[in-house]
Structure 1
Amino acid sequence: MPEIFPSRPSAKAGPVWDLPPGKELPAIAYALRGSQVPLAEYFERRRVTSFLVLHRGQVRLEKYQYGRTADQRFASYSMAKSVTALLVGIAEERGLIRSLDDKAEAYAPELAGSAYGGITIRHLLQMGSGVRWVEDYGGRDDVAELWGALFRIYAGGNPTQVLARRRPMDAEPGTRFKYSTGETQVLCHVLKGATQRTVADLTSEWLWQPLGAQADGAWLVGWQDIEYCGGGFNATTRDYARLGRLLALGGRRDGTQIVPEAFLKRATDPDQQPPGFRLNEPGPRFGYGYQFWLFNGGFMLLGVYGQAIYVVPALDLVVVHTAVWPKSSDPDSREERDAVFRAIGRAIAQE
């Protein structure tokens, strides 16, 4: 993707966080509609491009298919939303954002007077703005208009205007989860205004370099010189695993706190979510934190077409999954992938 669209690197620097090989995983089978399916068959059944199991910092399984390699960067799609949230948390800790309860327009004056401009950063992180946004991946929805405007696919498109145009409210802010890439893109404007720096540079300095990435990451950049924070990050599978382990360890690497611990807890702990965003409530398929999907015992970064980072902190377990599903959110592929994640977690827990 960074070679096809305009992009900006998030440079690596310093010693790489080593991921040594660990012992081979035990024989694993996952439950699927009353049957037990061997893990090896999963890679024949679903269009997985890369898969990595990292346990206590050791690689227990690493697999690439369809000609992909460990040196290549994979599109994150909406896993980028979680990266954006981490940058917001770090910006708050550094005093560049005064409070998560500030309105977006305090840092993004280009959105002043709009529905999104009047929403707090906290509610944007939750995807709880209440602002109407249609995201059904049918090619004519709001996210298609935003993408087309960012990358000039449609004549006359303006990505800021897509966000700032008149939009009705469907709910009181902070009361209801409604998935919206637009809300993450507003956070991109907030970060740029608060820091006067690019999101790619922030990612490099605040995340990629301190976590010891092996390769540069890359953000897709729209024509107004703003990153596509809703889905435009790209990285190697091993670097996604390093990011997952950083989060599994509470935002720390080798004793150094990289992501603020309290922010990360609030972003990923199901018990800290307000009504409307908790586990098993109407709205989110799981619980939803600050741009993270939550389940009992852990959380996930998720993107369309099968991208996922599955994190279980108590087990120090990270599973990275990249794919090219036939549909943006294919229910059968999703059900099977999640069954694989759960089976790996159970096997690790029983060791």
Structure 2
Amino acid sequence: MTSTTQQPTSHAAHPSSWWEHPSDLVMRRPFNEFTFTHMNWLMPTERVARGPASRPLPVAPEPLDLTYRFDDRDLSLADLHRRTHTTAFVVLHRGALVHESYPGLFAGPRRRMQLFSLSKSVTSVLIGIALADGAIGSIHDQVTDYRPDLRRSAYAGTTLADLLDMSSGVGELETWETPDSAIRQFERAVLSGGDVAAIIRSTPRTATAGESFNYSTFDAQVLGWVLEAATGQSLAAYASTRLWSKIGAERDAYYGLSRSHPRTAIGAGAFNATARDLARIGRLMADDGGGIVPADWVRRSRGSGLPHLAVGALGPSGYDHYGYANQWWTLGESCFHAFTGLGVHGQYLFVDPAADVVIVKCSAWAAEDDEDRDRETVTALRRIADHFA
């Protein structure tokens, strides 16, 4: 594969059974509370270095003894954490840390959390910065302008905008339930040393580019490769110099890498950071980019106005309370243009610019997707934002 070669900064010895059946052990409760906070023990990584000095978050503690209404019941935040297996929970209001708790067995302020597909939203932030830097010319550029090795794949003819909006038309419905689905093949390749790029290059076209939404980890992974090709840096190196070193992060973050050589960062699903530092990214998105991310890029992430990306219009690969834009899930005008990054097993970076509220919720659900827990979580996060608004 032609993506940037990367040297991992940590290795671990692993029993062979873990690599033969990774999901059986990593994802099962309660073991996933440990693995989701120790992914650098389980796969090669590359460090995303913080800046020379951390900037502590302002602290203005406030007890959140509010309740939210779900399933015909009034429930507390303690109920939310118990019912949805919360491991870390951080709330910022006007940039100040107003609430923080770590119900997870292994979680804490310094623990770096596996964010899964929330990594896609971080990749989007980096694409916006690269556009402002001039490393990427336009979102209307072709994927193959940066990755010519994809000219013989279904990604020929797609634009970066198509990838950003999960509208490439490449691939079937992404499902974790089918053992031999494309996403399961991708997972096995990442964990066991298979050819990640070959799996993506072999994925067929199923729809016209730019016309319909189909959630795609492959679209986001290709975006990460485009970013590396455009900047001449690994994803971790660019994230460090242009983002992580500028936000006052308390700890280095890291990307999980594929086990195959050359290593490649899993920009679509293996970014790991503390809940507080992730909240700092949310603060940028609530504050029109904070001078680090272009303001017009942040606005694009709040909703595009395209009919096939509207709330309720995503089809079978998106719940009907979400829309989509720019690798973020949107919640529509009724929620004052709140939007959220999402990761499987219950990872959230919820941003409400109108209320100036940012909420990080990390979780350890037993299943990758759980619509009931997702609806309950969104209801509770919306209630917190309304409380401050």
Give the TM-score normalised by structure 1. Answer: 0.93
Per the alignment, in what secondary structure is the counterpart of residue 339 of structure 1? helix
1:143 partner SS: helix
What residue in structure 1 maps to residue 215 of structure 2?
179
What does residue range 76-225 of structure 1 map to in structure 2 within 5 Å? 76-138=115-177, 139-152=179-192, 157-165=194-202, 167=204, 169-222=205-258, 223=260, 224-225=262-263
Quote the Cα distance in structure 2 between the aligned partners of 1:94 and 1:263: 13
Counterparts of 1:59 and 1:116 in 2: how far apart (Å)?
42
Please tell me whether residue 258 in structure 1 is matched to residue 292 in structure 2: yes
Question: What are the within-5 Å matches in structure 2 for residues 288-327 of structure 1?
Answer: 288-296=324-332, 297=336, 298-327=338-367
* Partner Cα separation in structure 2 for residue 344 and residue 166 of structure 1: 41
- 1:342 Cα shift? 1.4
Q: Where does residue 74 of structure 1 map in the other structure? A: 113
Q: Deviations over 1:213-242 (max 9, x none)?
A: 110000011223221011010000100111
Counterpart residue type for residue 110 of structure 1: D
What's the counterpart of residue 237 of structure 1? 275
**Of residues 80, 96, 112 in structure 2, which corresponds to 1:42?**
80
Go from structure 1 to structure 2 and tell me whether the alpha carbon gap of 1:73 and 1:26 turns closer, same or farther (over 3 Å shift).
closer
Q: CA deviation at 1:319?
A: 0.6
For 2:210, the aligned partner's letter is: G
Q: CA deviation at 1:60?
A: 1.6
Q: Give the match's secondary structure for 1:115.
A: coil
Deviation of 1:282 after TM superposition, in Å, equals: 4.0
Partner in structure 2 of residue 278 of structure 1: 310
User: Does the residue aligned with 1:122 lie in a helix, a strand or coil?
Assistant: helix
| Partner Cα separation in structure 2 for residue 39 and residue 13 of structure 1 | 34
Match among 267, 272, 282 for residue 301 of structure 2: 267
How far did residue 92 of structure 1 move? 1.6
Query: Letter of the aligned partner of 2:293 in structure 1?
Result: V
Contact between 2:170 and 2:203, CA under 8 Å: does it hold in 1? Answer: no
Whole-angstrom distance in 2 between the partners of 1:317 and 1:13: 25
CA distance in 2, matches of 1:277, 1:184: 16
| Separation in 1, partners of 2:161, 2:373 | 32
| 8 Å contact kept, 2:92–2:98 | yes
Structure 2 counterpart of 1:276, one-letter code: H
Give 1:186 shift.
0.8
Partners of 1:292 and 1:334 lie apart in 2 by 15
Is the 1:134–1:141 Cα contact (8 Å) retained in structure 2? no
- CA-based RMSD of the aligned residues comes to 1.5
Q: 3-state DSSP class of the match of 2:246?
A: coil
Distance 2:156 2:221 in 1: 12
Q: Distance in 1 between matches of 2:156 and 2:263?
A: 20
Task: After superposing the two structures, state which structure 1 stretch, 333-342 or 306-315, moved more.
Answer: 333-342
- Counterpart Cα distance in 2 of 1:172 and 1:324: 36
Tell me, which stretches of 5 or more residues in structure 2 are unaligned? 1-38
Asked whether the 8 Å contact 1:292–1:300 carries over to 2, the reply is: yes
Within 5 Å, which residues of 2 pair with 1:15-30?
15-30=53-68
Shift of residue 26, structure 1, vs aligned partner:
4.5
CA contact (8 A) 2:175 2:181 kept: yes
Picking from 85, 97, 118, the partner of 1:59 is 97
The one-letter code matched in structure 1 to 2:93 is H
Gaps of 5+ in 1: none
1:166 Cα shift? 5.3
SS of 1:53 mapped into structure 2:
strand
The residue type equivalent to 1:227 in the other structure is: A
Please give the alpha-carbon distance, in whole angstroms, between the structure 1 residues aligned to 2:248 and 2:188: 34
Deviation, structure 1 residue 68 = 1.6
Decide whether the 8 Å contact of 2:172 with 2:206 is kept in 1.
Answer: no
- Which of 228, 233, 257 aligns to 2:266? It is 228
Instruction: Point out the more displaced range, 112-121 or 320-329.
Output: 112-121
SS at 2:69's partner residue?
Answer: strand
Q: Deviations over 1:218-277 (max 9, x none)?
A: 00112232210110100001001111111110111xxxx111111221122x2x331201
